[in-house]
Amino acid sequence: MGVLRRREVLVGGGALAGGLWAGGAKAMTRRPGPIRWVFDRLSNIGGVDTMVEGDPILVDSPYGKAVQFDGVDDRLVIAKHPLAGMGEFTFEALFRPDGGAFAQRWFHLNEEDSTPGAPPSVTRILFEIRVKDGAWSLDAFATGQGYKQTLLFLDKTYPIGPWYWVAQSYDGKTYRSFVNGELQGEADIAFAPQSQGRSSIGARMNKVDYFKGAIREARFAPRALAPEALQKTR
C-alpha cells in the first residue's frame, strides 16, 4: 500500500442544527460562533486572506462552484485556523476525491506561533485520504500538547468520483470521524484548544501529499454535533 509519511495508529474496530447557525445574539455570546467557508472562488475564502499556489481552478458541481486541485502543486493557504480556541468542535467538509497518490492531505489546520524565531508548531487538525484500487478511506488526525490521535480505518472504503461530506468532532471526551454521517471510528483523547494559525487546503503545510480532487465547502462549529445533524450527500 506504499509507505505512510507518519505513523498510523488504528483505533476502534443534514444540516447543522438551526439554533447553532441561526441562533440569536444571546446564544452567540456564550461560545464562539460557527464558521462556513465556501470554495466558490480563489480569493478571500470566508472573508479571510487567501494565497493561491499552483493552478487550482473553479469547476461546476451539483452544489455550485468548487475548487479543483490537480494533485501536483495546487493549494490554497488561508490566513486563519478556524477551530482556534474551541474546546469542543465539529469540522465538516464537502469534497470529491479523484484518485491520485496513496496519501493525500487535503485540509490542514495548523497552529502557528507568531513570535520571531519560534520553531514551527506541530499542533494541528487535519483530513487526509488513503487511495487504492479506485477507492478511498478517510484519515482524521489531531495532535497537540498531551494528545495525538489518528482515526484511520482502511477497511472502510468509498468509491472515487462522487461527492462526500466528511466530519470529525470532539465533545470534551471523545474524538470521532464520519463519512456522510456514518461513524468511522472514535477514541477518547485529552484534547486542548489550539491557538491561532493558518490553513493549507490541497496539501500539507510543508507542500507535500498534494490532493487530486475538488472541495466545495467546510463548516466549523463550536460543539460536537450529533450524527443526525451532520451534513450528508444523497
Nearest to 143 by CA among 35, 13, 48, 9: 9
Spell out the residues 6+ positions from residue 125 whose beta carbon is closer than 8 angstroms to its own: 83, 91, 109, 141, 142, 168, 194
Nearest to 73 by CA among 204, 197, 234, 223: 204
Judged by phi (left if over 0) then psi (alpha if -120 to 50, else beta), residue 100 lies in: left
Please give the backbone phi and psi of residue 97, each rounded to the nearest 5 degrees, phi first.
-80, 135
pLDDT at site 31: 64
Average pLDDT over residues 114-131: 88
Ordered domains of the chain (ranges, CATH): 33-113+122-229 (2.60.120.200)
Average pLDDT over residues 141-166: 97
Q: Picking from 3-12, 81-90, 175-184, which range would have the lowest pLDDT averaged per residue?
A: 3-12
**pLDDT per residue as tens digits for the range 180-231:** 999 999 999 999 999 999 999 999 999 999 999 999 999 999 999 999 999 9
pTM, full prediction:
0.86
Average pLDDT, the chain: 89
Q: What angle do CA 225, 164, 92 make, to 5 degrees?
A: 30
Distance of alpha carbon 91 from alpha carbon 93, whole angstroms: 7
Q: How confident is the model at residue 120 (pLDDT cuts 50, 70, 90)?
A: confident
* pLDDT more than 70, % of the chain: 87
**Location of C-alpha cell 474496530:** 13
Strand partners, 40: none
**pLDDT per residue as tens digits for the range 68-79:** 999 999 999 999
pLDDT at site 33: 84
Q: How confident is the model at residue 117 (pLDDT cuts 50, 70, 90)?
A: confident
Average pLDDT over residues 105-114: 93
Distance of alpha carbon 182 from alpha carbon 9, whole angstroms: 20
Q: How confident is the model at residue 157 (pLDDT cuts 50, 70, 90)?
A: very high
Nearest to 150 by CA among 2, 7, 25: 7
H or E, element range at 91: strand 89-97
The sign of the torsion formed by the CA atoms of 146, 5, 113, 108 equals negative
**pLDDT per residue as tens digits for the range 1-56:** 443 344 333 333 333 433 344 344 343 345 678 999 999 999 999 999 999 999 99
